[in-house]
Amino acid sequence: MRAKCGFQTPIDAQAADSLMRSNEISLPNTAFYGCSYRRSGAIMQVEIWSDVVCPWCYIGKRRFETAVRQFEGRLDVEVVWRSFELDPSAPKAIGKDMVTMLSEKYRMSREKAIESIANLTSLAVSEGLEYHLESAKMGNSFDAHRLLQLAVLTGHGDAMKERLLKAYFTEAMEISSQEVLVELGTEVGLQATTILDMYAGDYMAKEVRSDEALASKYGIKGVPFYVFDSKYGVSGAQATEVFVEVLSKVSEESPALSFPVESDAPGCTDDSCAV
């Protein structure tokens, strides 16, 4: 599946006003940007809010990609990667392992925490992913989101998103470390000097905060969360067949943002994460 990333034409004031009236939601008068999976036929935009430290977000990404592939030749899906921090107040490095964190946060025994991690790891395997949650280096994800948004601008958004997720869940890399993030960014084609210049100031911070503000306007409290053509909102790492159903439904057009499926699919919020 080939991806193309970069800026799209900004929405002008008249178009934004029309969209807000027709969809009964608030839309920013800013450029939409992200990664496009180019197909022939109709074009659909899917905005995906997720955090790079959310285990269900990686699983949901794989399931969504599988669903999109089933629309080969029928649908042109443009993916817009939106930033969402599960814990904006988290320190750079938490200094605890995943088992300890789960035990303390959810008041479960270490044995139960280990079992929960094993179950989630097994589920990830079924989606072709390799998790090493027991070794994950937890910490603040804000700088990782800044790097993601920088990558989007330079045409490396999808590769950067994938690299960050793999670094955290598979390779147990410390994605709160700017040194590590520079390394990851250069791996997907960004210039080290550009990344360092970004971290020397507050570049791309506004973009991250803007995504989070938009999530708040939509009422998004957990991730992953998908908004299809500003019409349908889908929360959680839904099964592939559910994504296929939603893609089919949205392609037929609908006038307002709604939730086409009952959402008990797993995901993460700022104070809980299905394990």
CATH number at residue 216: 3.40.30.10
How far apart CA 250 and CA 239 sit, in angstroms, is 17
- The answer to whether position 91 is within a domain reads yes
Residue 261 has what pLDDT?
Answer: 57
- The answer to whether position 66 is within a domain reads yes
Domain count, the chain: 1
Residues 6+ apart with CB under 8 A from 249: 232, 260
How far apart CA 242 and CA 234 sit, in angstroms, is 10
Query: Tokens for 125?
Result: 């395997």
3-state secondary structure of 10: coil
How far apart CA 37 and CA 220 sit, in angstroms, is 25
Beta strand extents in the chain (DSSP E only): 3-7, 33-37, 42-50, 75-83, 222-223, 225-228, 232-235, 268-269
Residue 133 has what pLDDT?
Answer: 96
Residues 6+ apart with CB under 8 A from 15: none
- The answer to whether position 171 is within a domain reads yes
Residue 266 has what pLDDT?
Answer: 72
CA neighbours closer than 13 Å in the CB half-sphere of residue 221: 5
| Long-range contacts of the stretch 247-252 (C-beta < 8 A, 24+) | 247/44, 247/67, 247/68, 247/71, 247/75, 247/77, 250/44, 251/42, 251/44, 251/74, 251/75
Query: Tokens for 39?
Result: 């197909």
- The answer to whether position 114 is within a domain reads yes
- The answer to whether position 274 is within a domain reads no
- The answer to whether position 275 is within a domain reads no
Q: For the chain, 275 residues long, give each residue's pLDDT as a single digit of tens.
A: 333 333 232 323 333 233 223 333 333 333 333 333 333 445 899 999 999 999 999 999 999 999 999 887 677 899 999 999 999 999 999 999 999 999 998 999 999 999 999 999 999 999 999 999 999 999 999 999 999 999 999 989 999 999 999 999 999 999 999 999 999 999 999 999 999 999 999 999 999 999 999 999 999 999 999 999 988 899 999 999 999 999 988 887 644 444 555 556 677 776 657 66
Range of the domain at 216: 3-269
- The answer to whether position 16 is within a domain reads yes
- The answer to whether position 46 is within a domain reads yes
Residue 260 has what pLDDT?
Answer: 55
